[in-house]
Amino acid sequence: MAMASSDRPGLFERTGAWVQRSWMFIAFFVGFFLFWEWSVELFDIPRYILTPPSLIVAKGWADIDRLIYYTYVTGLETVIGYVVALLVGLPLGLAISFSSILRRTIYPFFVCIEMVPKIAFAPLFISWLGFGLLPKVIIVFLVCFFPVVLNAILAFNSLSEELTRFCRSTGAGAWTTFFKIRLPAAMPQCFVGFKYAAINATVGAAIAEFIGSDEGLGFYIQIVTGNMRPDLAFAGIFFLTLLGLALFGCVTLAERLLIPWHISVRRSRP
Amino acid sequence: MTSLIELTAVSKTFGSGADAVHAFGPVDLAIEDGEFISFLGPSGCGKSTLMLMIAGLLEVSEGDIRLAGQTVAGPRTDIGIMFQDNTLVPWRTVQGNIELQLEMRGMPVSKHGARIDMLLDSVHLKDFAERHPYELSGGMQQRAAFCQAMVHDPKTMLLDEPLGKLDAMTRESIRKDLQALWMQQRPTVVFVTHSIEEAVQLSSRVAVITPRPGRIEEVIPIDLPFPRDLDVKNSSEFARYVRDIQEIFRGYGVI
Ligand SMILES: Nc1ncnc2c1ncn2[C@@H]1O[C@H](COP(=O)(O)OP(=O)(O)OP(=O)(O)O)[C@@H](O)[C@H]1O
Ligand SMILES: [Mg+2]
């Protein structure tokens, strides 16, 4: 922004500052994994129940090809479901917030559906549509769709009274008002929905795969657990976590690019 | 000749039935072209309500408001209005926020560069043109909002507590600028305030509004020379106007 780039601390200083602020967290994190590593020995936990982190890394590395391929499979399901949920949810939320008919029909219907755990539909979709990509995409879509729509409705309905009056006092048309005021003002609340959906997207994909699939990280975790290989299960969980973080990271990045002015973004900057 | 703004038996009730709040009126008032009139009254007496009704942003419950000969039946775009809470948007800079008013009206931004600079200069915000509202203090935001409200050069200005969040010194300096601007261009100004001293200093007339439900108790012409600099403010006539108005509010138990 107004800050000149030369005032900005370098990468080295910033990393230093981060360590200084977060050393307690880092110490706790490292300590947790060390405790895990040693407690398996110390309490004599059988390897088929729990494996130390070092072994997870070693065994996971040995199976890396399969893990990467399955990450791709699950990632594809997640991303397609998520993107479709955004592409459908955002315009629909917009339409509902501007149409009193839709607000009295579809909106209450959505609020009811929101109460239903969407994951409960997973077995049905698998039985209707088989083991392929489509049923997983649909389940991811269902999990992501509602937070996106409901937050979009909230977003487009909560323009402050003062700004509404300002718009009217200028005599601006509906389009001008929408693009210059309503849309940017709604973005922060929309992103609340996008982020919530991003967190849940991989959960939906994994559970759908548990229920019926022949590839993907959820499938992998289930099979290796059945084979008494918790080491590989943890490796699968690790990649599933990476996938979730990557998606969430992309959304956060988009948020920073699109609404750098918003308080939630400004606060999180160092 | 008819007045620029004419209020006839205007009153406002919010809600209906048992929950109805009689907020304002009935009130009759005529505001002349080129005068500076203040609405002076305690919090909640209906000053903002009245201003919004004149702007056509709030419907009257009863009565009739005419602006420039026409009954106000919807938002009036031929005026400048500064709202009580500022209408700066966080995604634009100060400059961008001022341009927003022009863009919303479909006026060419490029032709108004000089006017924007002049306005920013007059409120001492020139160095902050490229800052975002959240980088400004409350008083600076208010000054930016003033520029936003006035950039399209309206001949009628409705200002809702425009100096409310300013410190005493800045307030004094902006009053001076506002008065100079008014003396020079003679716009019609409707000025909402709850400072007696401010109302007396700036106005050609002060409409004293009673506590809720607000009514106009008295419209007091302030017969003091302009510009009302410190000499005028220290005069005994000035003090008498302030005291008379204080007496009215004391009668209502407000002070
Ligand atoms: N939308 C609304 N619904 C119900 N009552 C309202 C509404 N807006 C204002 N009022 C009532 O109308 C009265 C006048 O409000 P108004 O905002 O005009 O006061 P004000 O004189 O501007 O006060 P302040 O100096 O605090 O800004 C208040 O008592 C308030 O409770
Ligand atoms: Mg008010």
Sheet holding B36-40, edge to edge: B80-82, B156-160, B188-193, B36-40, B205-209, B216-221
| Interface check A7 vs B, CB under 8 A | no
Q: Which residue of A has its CA nearest to B128?
A: A2
For range B183-209, the mean pLDDT:
93
Closest-lying ligand 1 atom to the alpha carbon of residue B209: 21
In this structure, which ligand is nearest to the CA of B40? 1
Are residue B130 and residue B220 in the same domain, yes or no?
Answer: no
Are residue B133 and residue B192 in the same domain, yes or no?
Answer: no
Per-residue confidence (pLDDT) for residue B123, from 0 to 100: 87
B203 or A12, greater pLDDT = B203
Ligand 1 mutation pick, B10, B11, B21, max ligand atoms within 8 A of CB: B21
Are residue B218 and residue B231 in the same domain, yes or no?
Answer: yes
B198: CATH: 3.40.50.300
The residue among B99, B119, B154 that closes a domain is B154
Q: Long-range contact list for B106-115, CB < 8 A, 24+ apart?
A: B106/A172, B106/A176, B107/B152, B112/B151, B115/B151, B115/B153
A-B CB pairs within 8 A amount to 60
The ipTM, to two decimals, is 0.92
Domain enclosing residue B125, as ranges: 86-154
Per-residue confidence (pLDDT) for residue A217, from 0 to 100: 95
B77:A170 CB<8 A: yes
Is the per-residue pLDDT at A40 higher than 90? no
Cβ atoms of B194 and B43 within 8 Å: the answer is yes
Is the per-residue pLDDT at B110 higher than 70? yes
Which tens digits make up the pLDDT trace of A54-84?
A: 999 999 999 999 999 999 999 999 999 999 9
Strand partners, B191: B38, B159
Per-residue confidence (pLDDT) for residue A269, from 0 to 100: 58
Cβ atoms of B245 and B208 within 8 Å: the answer is yes
Are residue B109 and residue B178 in the same domain, yes or no?
Answer: no
Which tens digits make up the pLDDT trace of B46-82?
A: 999 999 999 999 999 999 999 988 999 999 999 999 9
B104 → closest Cβ in A160, A165, A172:
A172
B214 or A192, greater pLDDT = A192
Cβ atoms of B108 and B127 within 8 Å: the answer is no
In this structure, which ligand is nearest to the CA of B43? 1
Is the per-residue pLDDT at B1 higher than 60? no
Residues of B in contact with A160 (CB under 8 A): 85
Closest-lying ligand 1 atom to the alpha carbon of residue B52: 18
Name the residue type at position A57.
Answer: V
- Report the nearest-CA residue for atom 2 of ligand 1: B14
Cβ atoms of B207 and B38 within 8 Å: the answer is yes
For range A37-63, the mean pLDDT:
89
Is the per-residue pLDDT at B102 higher than 90? yes
Are residue B130 and residue B169 in the same domain, yes or no?
Answer: no
Instruction: Read off the tokens for A205.
Output: 């994909």
In 3D space, the residue among A159, A147, A149, A144 whose CA is nearest the CA of residue A93 turns out to be A149
Closest-lying ligand 1 atom to the alpha carbon of residue B42: 25
Ligand 1 site, CB within 6 A: B 14-15, 21, 23, 41, 43-49, 84, 194, 212
Report chain B's mean pLDDT, rounded to a whole number. Answer: 91
B85 → closest Cβ in A162, A261, A266:
A162
Are residue B117 and residue B202 in the same domain, yes or no?
Answer: no
In this structure, which ligand is nearest to the CA of B58? 1
Are residue B106 and residue B13 in the same domain, yes or no?
Answer: no
Alpha carbon distance B4, B70 (integer Å): 10
- Report the nearest-CA residue for atom 17 of ligand 1: B48
Cβ atoms of B153 and B115 within 8 Å: the answer is yes
Are residue B148 and residue B195 in the same domain, yes or no?
Answer: no
Name the residue type at position A217.
Answer: L
Are residue B181 and residue B132 in the same domain, yes or no?
Answer: no
B100:A180 CB<8 A: yes
Number of domains in chain B: 2
For range B6-11, the mean pLDDT:
92
Closest-lying ligand 1 atom to the alpha carbon of residue B84: 27
Are residue B121 and residue B161 in the same domain, yes or no?
Answer: no
